[in-house]
């Protein structure tokens, strides 16, 4: 077991904060264990554009499928959030395309208890179904209609997210860790 893994599991007292590099080096099971121990970020802190990337997906197949799904609209590189009330807001994902940055895959955001099994602590939720129509959106719309993310704070400016997507309970039970860093830029208001 790695030193970081022992710290996460409680075998050793943490001697330093967990960094973005630590998250990128952790296997999926350690990321999920860490996620369950973390607290939700203050809602108002989740404002602006954040750099994002996938973390370990548990297998090569899992990583390739996740990367393919995320990059159908361009190269995915971020998420953005804007509060619209004390505990709710909205946001979008950022993609690099041949024509420049594309801001799409809109979502609603709110604070609330985790929807992951055996976890009732609060998390910052990203729900895509409201803005993404299953019938008119084709493959991407169908995927987004079933997509749901949760985010918790690791350290200042560093967040661990867990994504889920799928039409079946089995599909929704696959957990897809990702990292957010920032904010790195202000929120861009969408038309």
pLDDT in tens, 111-135: 999 999 899 999 999 998 776 554 4
Residue 173 lies in a domain: yes
Most confident listed range (10-14, 75-79, 166-170): 75-79
- Both tokens of 150, joined, read 């949760």
DSSP 40: P
Structural domain range at position 145: 3-185
Residue 190 lies in a domain: no
Measured CA to CA, the distance from residue 46 to residue 178 in angstroms comes to: 16
Residue 159 pairs with which residues in a beta bridge? 153, 180
Give the total number of structural domains in the chain: 1
Residue 191 lies in a domain: no
> Which pLDDT score is estimated for 73?
79
Most confident listed range (9-13, 86-90, 164-168): 86-90
Q: Is the pLDDT of residue 1 over 80?
A: no
> Which pLDDT score is estimated for 68?
79
Residue 36 lies in a domain: yes
Higher pLDDT, 70 or 188: 188
> Which pLDDT score is estimated for 63?
85
Residue 40 lies in a domain: yes
Q: Is the pLDDT of residue 71 over 90?
A: no
End-to-end CA distance of the chain: 49
Residue 109 lies in a domain: yes
> What is the value of pTM for the model shown?
0.84
Residue 3 pLDDT level (bands cut at 50, 70, 90): low
Provide the CATH number for the domain around residue 180: 2.40.128.580
Give me the numbers of helices (H) and strands (E) for the chain, helices first please.
6, 8
């Amino acid at each position: 077991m790695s030193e970081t893994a022992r710290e996460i599991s409680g075998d050793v007292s943490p001697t330093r904060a967990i960094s973005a590099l630590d998250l990128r080096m952790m296997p999926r099971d350690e990321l999920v264990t860490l996620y369950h121990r973390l607290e939700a970020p203050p809602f108002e802190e989740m404002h602006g554009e954040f750099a994002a990337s996938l973390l370990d997906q548990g297998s090569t197949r899992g990583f390739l499928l996740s990367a393919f799904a995320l990059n159908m609209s361009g190269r995915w590189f971020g998420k953005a959030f804007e509060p619209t009330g004390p505990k709710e807001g909205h946001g979008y994902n950022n993609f690099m395309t041949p024509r420049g940055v594309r801001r799409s895959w809109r979502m609603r955001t709110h604070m609330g208890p985790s929807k992951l099994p055996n976890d009732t602590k609060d998390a910052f939720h990203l729900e895509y179904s409201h803005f993404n129509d299953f019938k008119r959106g084709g493959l991407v719309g169908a995927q987004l209609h079933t997509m749901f993310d949760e985010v918790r704070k690791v350290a200042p400016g560093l967040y661990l997210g867990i994504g889920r997507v799928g039409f079946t309970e089995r599909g929704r039970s696959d957990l897809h860790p990702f990292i957010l860093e920032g904010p790195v830029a202000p929120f861009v208001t969408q038309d």
